[in-house]
Structure 1
Amino acid sequence: MSASHYPGSEAFKGIPTACISDALDTFGINGGLEGLKALGPGMALAGPAYTLQYEPVPEGETAQAGEFIDEVPEGHVVVIANGGRQYCTVWGDLLTHAAKIRGLRGTVIDGCCRDATAILQTGYPLFSLGSYMKSGKNRVRLAARQVPVTISSTVVCPGDIVAADDSGVIVIPKDVAEQAYRRVKEIEAMEERILLDLQNGMPMKEARIKHRYNQYALRVNV
């Protein structure tokens, strides 16, 4: 099969995260951000990561809300590493409106958002561990931006491609994005051939063998 042209992060828009995961498995790359879910059904995003690292505020100190939104380039996905904290939030409705105005593609939070109803009304794609009403002011603070961050054992670097849908959130390392995209196209074509054979009455086991379905699986050392 000839190699597909890779047009950049936009190429992953609309591709199911399950297919991307299968492609990354063939390179031995995890990429999944466990536990993060869409704030509402049907949300999806794909774009380069703009990373933010948060940390707790020491007892007795104060800290204002993180100021970063004005610096995020258009077309990027905000990735906030808040250490899985769910006792306070780092995103709300005002940031959502600012992000939409700036043309951002969505936000991914290892933690919680608030103003869930207002965010849902905007249709802005947001993925997090959940929602909670407590502000992050004086509880957590922005420690660094555009640095590698770790979310559920997966390292996310600035510029890595983030994709998300109802099945979850996955990160494609930028240095393998082109190869991953080509593998995704191979997998999509393979699954289309299997579906066609199923519709023509072929048993699943036979169709999978015929089209080498298990070739596209996690690479393991044996």
Structure 2
Amino acid sequence: MQQEKRLTGKIAADRIRQMAVPRADPALLAAYRALGDASGVLSDVMDRLGIPGVVGASTLAPTLPGKVMVGTALTVRNVMQRGHEYEAARAVVNKMAEFEAHNLAQPDDVLVIQGVPGISNMGGISAQLGKRHGEVGAIVMGGVRDVAHSRSVGFPVWASEITPRTGKWRVETVEINGDVEIDGVRVCCGDIVFADDTGVCFIPIARAQEVLVMAQKTVKDEEIKCAAIDAGTHIADLPKSD
């Protein structure tokens, strides 16, 4: 049987921009998780600080609802493979290389893929491998498939499309750990990714502490307001936020 051709060795290495990703302190990631399903709060804070980086769940929908995911971005950029897809399929030419990104992963990483629309950029085996390497989930601008498989291993994925059409002979990975663009948002490897049922926030690592402090205060203010509402306080008398 003909062996499947994959990106390996020097070819794959040439496309890895950074071998060592700048990673946030685990305590910082834990503090973000403690915010709960706070993408709305983070979006407001990022607006006030002038930081772009929010994509709604109508664009990036979770395949495993009810999850809050926080981690460090490990980035992959895909493009359409040259040549005819059926000829590549017959020759079993596979130029996808997100597996190389999995090999660089550490616990609490999030795979962030700038993918190709209408085609799967990540399947169930890839999700299972990511889970084994300690990744907490994935963000894919483009198609994914094998959703039941990724759900079965508890690997949440936020994706813009779901399709059975494989990317094996249609997609080529051209860069790992470079900058990617997700719905107009620039994401760098090492940035913090926060995702819940409402959407996804990409937080530049250099601004992460600043965003966190404001978000923590906002969450506390909202808890006070909700308690006041439950106590029967009139809307005009609710505590004012800064």
Question: TM-score category by the smaller chain?
Answer: 0.7 to 0.9
Aligned to 1:211: 240
SS at match of 1:110: strand
Cα RMSD for the two superposed structures? 1.8
**Distance (whole Å) between structure 1 residues aligned to residue 166 and residue 233 of structure 2:** 56
Deviation at 1:200, TM superposition (A): 2.5
Amino acid at match of 1:177: A
Aligned to 2:45: 23
Deviations 1:31-54 (A, max 9, x none): 112400100221221011001111
Aligned to 2:32: 12
Aligned to 1:122: 153
Deviations 1:93-120 (A, max 9, x none): 1111111111111111001111111211
Aligned to 1:58: 82
On the 8 A contact 2:119/2:163 being kept in 1, the answer is yes
On the 8 A contact 1:46/1:164 being kept in 2, the answer is yes
SS at match of 1:89: coil
Q: Which residue, out of 16, 19, 42, partners 2:66?
A: 42
**Distance (whole Å) between structure 1 residues aligned to residue 235 and residue 186 of structure 2:** 36
**Distance (whole Å) between structure 1 residues aligned to residue 154 and residue 94 of structure 2:** 30
State TM-score, norm by structure 1. 0.85
Q: Which residue, out of 80, 100, 104, partners 2:131?
A: 100
Deviation at 1:73, TM superposition (A): 2.2
Query: Residue 58 and residue 81 in structure 1: after superposition, are their counterparts in 2 closer, same or farther (change >3 A)?
Result: same
Amino acid at match of 1:11: A
**Distance (whole Å) between structure 2 residues aligned to residue 136 and residue 117 of structure 1:** 18
On the 8 A contact 1:147/1:158 being kept in 2, the answer is yes
Gaps of 5+ in 1: 1-5, 216-222
Matched, 1:136 2:136: no
Deviations 1:167-194 (A, max 9, x none): 1111111111000000011101111121
Aligned to 1:82: 115
On the 8 A contact 1:13/1:46 being kept in 2, the answer is yes
**Distance (whole Å) between structure 1 residues aligned to residue 149 and residue 27 of structure 2:** 34
Aligned residues: 204
SS at match of 1:7: helix
**Distance (whole Å) between structure 2 residues aligned to residue 205 and residue 81 of structure 1:** 45
SS at match of 1:96: helix
SS at match of 1:166: coil
**Distance (whole Å) between structure 2 residues aligned to residue 148 and residue 19 of structure 1:** 25
Deviations 1:92-151 (A, max 9, x none): 111111111111111110011111112112221111013111110221111101111111
Deviations 1:41-69 (A, max 9, x none): 21221011001111111224754331322
State TM-score, norm by structure 2. 0.79
Gaps of 5+ in 2: 1-25
SS at match of 1:8: helix
On the 8 A contact 2:66/2:197 being kept in 1, the answer is yes
